[in-house]
Amino acid sequence: MLKRYLPHPLLTVVLLVVWVFLVNEISVGAVIFGLILAVVIPLITSSFWQDRPRLRNVYGMCEYGLIVLWDILVANVVVAGLILFRKTESLESKSVVVPLDLTSPEAITTLAGTITMTPGTVTIDLSADAKSLLVHCLHAPDPQSVIDDIKNRYERRLKEIFE
């Protein structure tokens, strides 16, 4: 019964909270309208969520978020230095191939998004069988160290969260 009308309880809670934050006040009207949205949207989209992964590792998710934020800060300063003080010709821009151990689509999407949001690296493609990511680096004199960084810092933690 509950499963049928609330196929995705976590999404319902997130939608309700985001709606109340968007309205920016806790009033009866906001909560009621938020509840309507939070029940209807998961019902409509439930067919897209059939094999969704179970997220239980809350500690792992917090650790991952903090590490990504810290890396974004550090990489911002590094890339700012590259843009300001290096001649464009001396930048070694190249594409590197990152072989993936992750299998779930959600985990790969999160990894690709993380790589893009970290300055200096942009995910530009995925192999058709979803086993390699093509990552473009602004300045990578040593491509292997970029691959090791991505695999050790992000992929290993995502594997613990999603699989």
Partner 1 sequence: MPFVVELIISLLIVIGGAFLLIGSFGMIKLRDLLPRLHAPTKASTVGLGGLLIASMLFFWIERGHFTIHELLITLFIFLTAPITANLIAKAYMLLNVDPNKDLPPSKQDEGWATFDPVGPEGYDPSEEYQEKET
Alpha helices in 6-104 (DSSP H): 9-23, 28-45, 58-85
Please give the full DSSP string across 51-67, using - where no structure is assigned: TPPP---HHHHHHHHHH
Among 124, 141, 145, 152, binds partner 1 (CB under 8 A): 124
Q: How far is the CB of 116 from partner 1 (least distance, A)?
A: 4
- Backbone φ, ψ for residue 135 (5° rounding): -115, 130
- 157 contact partners, CB below 8 Å, separation of at least 6: 60, 63, 64, 67
Q: How far is the CB of 74 from partner 1 (least distance, A)?
A: 10
Among 4, 48, 84, 142, binds partner 1 (CB under 8 A): 84
Stretch of residues binding partner 1 (CB under 8 A), selected from 3-11, 41-49, 114-122, 154-162: 114-122
Q: Tell me the Cα Rg of the chain.
A: 20
Chain residues that interact with partner 1, rule: CB under 8 A:
18, 21-22, 24, 72-73, 76, 79-80, 83-84, 88, 91, 93, 95-97, 99, 112-113, 116-129, 131-132, 134, 136, 138
